[in-house]
Amino acid sequence: MITVKEAEGLILENTRDYGAEIVMFDEALGRVLAETIKADRDLPAFNRVTMDGIAINYSAFENGTRSFAIKGTQAAGANPIEINSEDQCVEIMTGAAMPEAVDTIIRYEDIEIKEGIATVLAANVKKGQNLHLKGTDKKQGDLLLSPGTTITPAVISLIASVGEAELRVKRLPRVVIISSGDELVEVAATPSPYQIRRSNNYMVQAILAREGIKASLINIPDDPEVIQHHLAICLQNYDVILMSGGISMGKFDHIPQALAALRVQQIFHKVQQRPGKPFWFGKHDNGVVVFAFPGNPVATFMCTQRYFVPWLNASLGKEESKPIFAVLESDLTFEPQLAYYLQVKLQFTGQGQLLATPLAGNGSGDFANLADTDAFMELPSEINEFKKGEVYRVYLFNQLQ
């Protein structure tokens, strides 16, 4: 068996660039940018009003003027209205372009308007207040976004503001999820007393959907010839094969032999970890990578989150996120010399400390317990006594509340 760190390293050595494609900007949420985005003009593009009120020339206020004749009303997007004398003002709305002859905005809350005259009630007025000056955010030609940026709602807003209707984004790999086992039946079926409904493949499909991938699903029986037949087809039609089940030491675990027969190179089989010790990883000469996970639900779930998602992010050139650490909330003992992925519930204390409460459950088949947890805490294999208050890395699969 190899260590978790060795497994991670070997997987990341086998990333692949799948190229780029053009998508509409409003369909790019969650994708990874594959081009540089620059400002097509200054941001903001003009001296922008940030409060509804009146626009005055500050020198008039400084010289004692408190009442101003309203020259006109200017809405956002309208041509600027210029004043002819310092005792005039413009009634102006948020988002409007500031006229050149004025330099200060006074809010409606600080004035009184009667018969076309605006009287300033506020004692303290600062020159240039309530203005967002042209080019203070970015200048024309400045870099806004770099390749590798994940496109979030805020990024979409920025992209739209500079007129990038079409975007070049990293192409996602074609992925198929294969579950195997004669004990599995369809979700809508009524299982016999010794069968179970198929769920691992839908779980993995949901994880991939959050990453923007629409994965195909295939279920195959425990038949060596059928397994090899389907794998041969998948090796020609997909970039990544994710498998759940059939890779341990049982008499019906035919996956490793089928992969070997199809000349898929085994890079490793078995990792010093729990759950997921029988994890198999390999690669075909045509570039297809194969992640074959143990069939236990928690093992499949953990391995997908811990190994496949980082591989995908690296393949897409996504900016690497910073690791998250949490404080163990109670003492724990784990005897085998294996890295232990402990299921934990996370919560912040009033002091902003992230606490991890263990929810050990009943082993790697306890998928019901998994639904109540937020993350896996990675406990190192070198020690077996873990104390309350110690800090370890966590791998989130739910958003922090």
* Residue 232 pLDDT > 90: yes
The arithmetic mean of pLDDT across residues 200-224, rounded, is: 91
Largest distance between two CA atoms of the chain = 95
Going from the N-terminus, what domains does the chain have, and what CATH number goes with each? 4-18+172-315 (3.40.980.10), 20-43+145-170 (3.90.105.10), 48-132 (2.170.190.11), 324-396 (2.40.340.10)
Kindly compute the dihedral angle of the four CA atoms of residues 125, 127, 132, 133, in this order, to the nearest 10 degrees.
180
The predicted structure's pLDDT at residue 370: 80
The arithmetic mean of pLDDT across residues 20-29, rounded, is: 97
* Residue 50 pLDDT > 70: yes
Residues 6+ away with beta carbon under 8 Å from 195: 183, 184, 185
The predicted structure's pLDDT at residue 273: 97
The predicted structure's pLDDT at residue 75: 98
Omega prior to 323 cis, within 30 of 0: no
The arithmetic mean of pLDDT across residues 101-126, rounded, is: 97
The arithmetic mean of pLDDT across residues 96-101, rounded, is: 97
The predicted structure's pLDDT at residue 367: 61
The predicted structure's pLDDT at residue 188: 67
Cα-based distances in Å from 170 to 22, 111, 306, 317? 9, 53, 22, 8
Q: What is the pLDDT of residues 156-194, one digit of tens each?
A: 999 999 999 999 999 999 999 998 765 666 666 677 776
The arithmetic mean of pLDDT across residues 99-108, rounded, is: 97
**Average model confidence (pLDDT) for the chain?**
92
Q: What is the pLDDT of residues 333-385, one digit of tens each?
A: 998 999 999 999 999 999 999 999 998 665 544 566 788 899 999 999 999 99
Query: Residue 95 CB: number of other CB atoms within 10 A?
Result: 14
The predicted structure's pLDDT at residue 398: 86
Both tokens of residue 236? 């020609």
Reported confidence tier of residue 252, pLDDT bands at 50, 70, 90? very low
The predicted structure's pLDDT at residue 245: 80
